[in-house]
Amino acid sequence: MTQSNFNFSPGPSLLPEAVKKKAKQAMWDWYVSGISPMEVSHRSPKFVALVSENEQRIRSLYGIDESYLVVFMPGGATMQTYAWCANLLRTDECADFAITGHWSKIAYQEALRNNAKHHQAFAGEANGYTSISDCSTWKCSSMSRFLHFVDNETVHGIEFTTPPTATGKILISDMSSNILSRPCNISSYGLIYAGMQKNMGIAGLTLVVVKKELLSQYPSYAPSLLSYQYCYDKNNLPNTPPTISHYILSLYLDWFLELGGLSAADEQCKKKSAMLYQAIDNSNGFYKNSIEKPFRSRINVTFSTPTPELDAQFASFAKDCGIHFIKGHASHGGLRASIYNAMPEEGVEALIECMNKFKQRASL
Ligand code: PMP
């Protein structure tokens, strides 16, 4: 059967069909017949083994050795804007931030709530978040050891091509929207984090990979549940977790490994995004993407029509064509196609066909 509806949501977003089918089956038959993964104790050996296997599989995908902790934390990526500072920064220590779009600005603003001395090493707002200058020209603070950046800005559709290592700072990266989309040398980073609801499964958990030796004295006033060491020492089960999110992660990893892993995902992301950018660039200016070409996201393709009214009409036309959640983020406007790993090429082709039809209609 040819699929007729495609989900371009930025997150929570589409799941691979195979994952949904297996999850449906597991609702009736997982622990034993009649008992699903949502209905078992998180202390049951089968569930504990599942969480541990998820950790091992993430370690082996990225080649993460024992000098890093792999932590699964509830609370979403937003919680990490506080947690990484609490776990890594020393008392009153400030950090550098690269502001390349919506989420890096939020991470900076959240961090400022605890220390007004945090510093913007790169501020992309002046150019509308359309490009990222060479990081060797950034103005880092001599006081900071760490640099926080968002590898792929989900709202603006701007992505780093390589990590900003030339700053000489220890890198802290939010990879919420491009985790599992390309190979990544974890040893170049102090910490990465990623909410799971985009390219790793469903909402409820955030993956954190952190270099052990960077952990500082965890503040006595901060909650144990946000301490990386505490969660890890409790085998990532310090309290009742969203069990279904762990389970879906395990199904997602099954599917992802069958897909071919990180390099295969990278190839597919490049191919699918290139198809879309080509359609935009070949539209004689009807569709526009404002991001400088090297930084165009392989995951969240932002674009617009000549007017906001036409953008709205496009979103409604697209829905009738089976193209869902194509509207841009409320703070940014325009349109956005989120093409995570689970988006088949067929979905991108359907979107392009819809774009061409809409352009023809609007030009009449
Ligand atoms: N960082 C990035 C890059 C995101 O895309 C998002 C969510 N869209 C967040 C952080 C915030 O994630 P959450 O809602 O899970 O806290």
pLDDT digits 0-9 by tens, 55-101? 999 999 999 999 999 999 999 999 999 999 999 999 999 999 999 99
Instruction: State the Cα–Cα distance between residues 351 and 324, nearest whole angstrom.
Output: 10
The pLDDT tens digits of the residues spanning 262-294 come to 999 999 999 999 999 999 999 999 999 999 999
Question: Cα of 197 to ligand 1 centre, how many Å?
Answer: 9
- 281 catalytic residue (yes or no): no
Ligand 1 neighbour 269 (Cβ under 6 A): no
CB 195 within 8 A of CB 176: yes
Cβ neighbours of residue 102 closer than 8 Å, sequence gap 6 or more:
129, 153, 154, 155, 156, 329, 331, 332
pLDDT bracket for residue 3 (50, 70, 90): low
Cis, bond preceding 16 (omega within 30 deg of 0): no
Q: With pLDDT > 70 as the criterion, what percentage of the chain qualifies?
A: 99
Instruction: State the Cα–Cα distance between residues 80 and 87, nearest whole angstrom.
Output: 10
Query: Which of 8, 72, 105, 154, when mutated, tests ligand 1's pocket best, judged by the most ligand atoms within 8 Å of its CB?
Result: 154
Average pLDDT, the chain: 96
Phi (first) and psi of residue 104, to 5 degrees = -75, -30
Question: What's the pLDDT score for residue 2?
Answer: 56
Q: With pLDDT > 90 as the criterion, what percentage of the chain qualifies?
A: 97
With a cut of 50, say whether residue 325 has pLDDT above it: yes
Question: What's the pLDDT score for residue 1?
Answer: 44
Q: Which two tokens stand for residue 167?
A: 């700053």
pLDDT bracket for residue 177 (50, 70, 90): very high
pLDDT bracket for residue 364 (50, 70, 90): low
Question: Cα of 195 to ligand 1 centre, how many Å?
Answer: 6
- 266 catalytic residue (yes or no): no
